[in-house]
Structure 1
Amino acid sequence: MTSPQEHPLPPLGEDDRETALRRLQQAYAEERISHKEMDERLDQVLTAQTHSDLASALASLPEEHPGTTSTIAAAGGRIRRGGAWRVPRTLKVGSAYGRVRLDLSRAIIEYPVVDIELQLATGGAAITVPRDAVVDVEDLRTGWKDLRYKPRRHSLADGPTIRISGTMGFGRLRIRHAWR
């Protein structure tokens, strides 16, 4: 009998560490943690090897202030975002006659939950989420074609939750997890 193939967790990146440091600094500036506690948690963040280590250093801190809502809209043509772009806490995407392509695989995601609201009349959409992301499509309404999404078998708990909502008119939404 063979054991299931193990998927290694993505490495802890400097962006993850910087986000954690920013949260600590904000909590200290708001006098939510003492100077001693700040020093202890800074040491934890700087020596963290995994996302779980970072999470324990940030435990009991208040949630980050939600970012503003960003909107991307086009009457026709394509909407594309890819590479190392900063994903807001809430992203609204609207298109009347075009295709939408959102690639979050290399994006800078600073929030544990990202809401993407789609308002698409015609034209399809493709969203690539990080390998370790959890995708929630419960509030998405499709009109003409069904959603194409196959959840990962072995979900990794360290990734962000991507909640996709809104309406799709005559196009199809395809969601896939990044390979790496």
Structure 2
Amino acid sequence: MTSLPENRPPRISEDDRDTAVRRLQEAYAEGHISHEEMDGLLNQALTAQTHDVLVQALSSLPAEQPATTSTIAVHAGRIQRRGPWRVPRTLKVESAFGKVHLDLSRAVIEHPVIDIELQLGTGRARITVPRDAIVEFENLGAGWKDTRYKPSRYSGPGGPTIRISGTMGFGRLRIRHARR
């Protein structure tokens, strides 16, 4: 008599684990969980072998909001956003040849963390962030000139976190805080 294979739950993938870690980090950054809770839940997520254990680690988090991602792309020309415009959770900016100017100082920012992903060929980029914003760089590659950024004295709790990543070809990224 041949026995049937055991009905084992499928193992989780690295993508599932990475998504869980990202959600836990965002929940901590948004103030939904304490540092101690994040440490415990990260350990649980990183050692989980099945989806059930991973779901249990994330069960105390608020429901994930649907992703809001927008892409602004031009081949040649200028990309400019200023004044009262609504900033999505994730903003992708793609330009082969041209200038980019994003002014977030008067923008409507509904998310505590904003991800800006730059894919720029040549040309410069300038980003103006709110006075109380915290700016972080994640995997930002510059092929020619270094990024210019001077942290604000007024950055701190309460302001949005602006995470900037991507690649800059032959241009310079300049980030400054709004004066008002």
Task: Please indicate the TM-score interval, normalised by the length of the shorter structure.
Answer: 0.5 to 0.7
**Structure 2: which amino acid aligns with 1:98?**
G
Residue of structure 2 in register with 1:70 after alignment: 70
Which consecutive residues of structure 2, in runs of 5 or more, have no partner in the other structure?
A: 1-59
Alpha-carbon deviations, 1:65-93, whole Å to 9, x = none?
Answer: 14421000000010000000000000000
d(CA) in 2 for partners of 1:62, 1:131: 28
- What SS is found at the alignment partner of 2:138? coil
Tell me how large the CA RMSD over aligned residues is. 1.6
Residue of structure 1 in register with 2:24 after alignment: none
Does the 8 Å contact 1:66/1:89 carry over to 2? no
Alpha-carbon deviations, 1:125-154, whole Å to 9, x = none?
Answer: 000000000000132111100000011234
| Structure 1 residues 151 and 88, CA gap change in structure 2 (3 angstroms) | same
Show structure 1 runs of 4+ deviating over 2 A. 60-64, 153-156
Does the 8 Å contact 1:114/1:162 carry over to 2? yes
Residue of structure 2 in register with 1:141 after alignment: 141
Shift of 1:179: 0.7
d(CA) in 2 for partners of 1:63, 1:133: 25
Residue of structure 1 in register with 2:20 after alignment: none
d(CA) in 2 for partners of 1:154, 1:90: 24
Residue of structure 1 in register with 2:102 after alignment: 102
Alpha-carbon deviations, 1:41-73, whole Å to 9, x = none?
Answer: xxxxxxxxxxxxxxxxxxx98266144210000
**Structure 1: which amino acid aligns with 2:142?**
T
d(CA) in 2 for partners of 1:164, 1:83: 20
Q: Please, what TM-score do these two structures have when normalized by structure 1?
A: 0.64
- What SS is found at the alignment partner of 2:162? strand
Count the aligned residue pairs.
121
Percent of aligned pairs with the same residue?
Answer: 74
Which consecutive residues of structure 1, in runs of 5 or more, have no partner in the other structure?
A: 1-59
Of 138-147 and 152-161, the range deviating more from structure 2 = 152-161
The answer on 1:115 being equivalent to 2:118 is no
Residue of structure 2 in register with 1:17 after alignment: none
- Residues 1-180 of structure 1: matches in 2 within 5 Å? 62=62, 65-180=65-180
- What SS is found at the alignment partner of 1:137? strand
| Structure 1 residues 66 and 115, CA gap change in structure 2 (3 angstroms) | farther
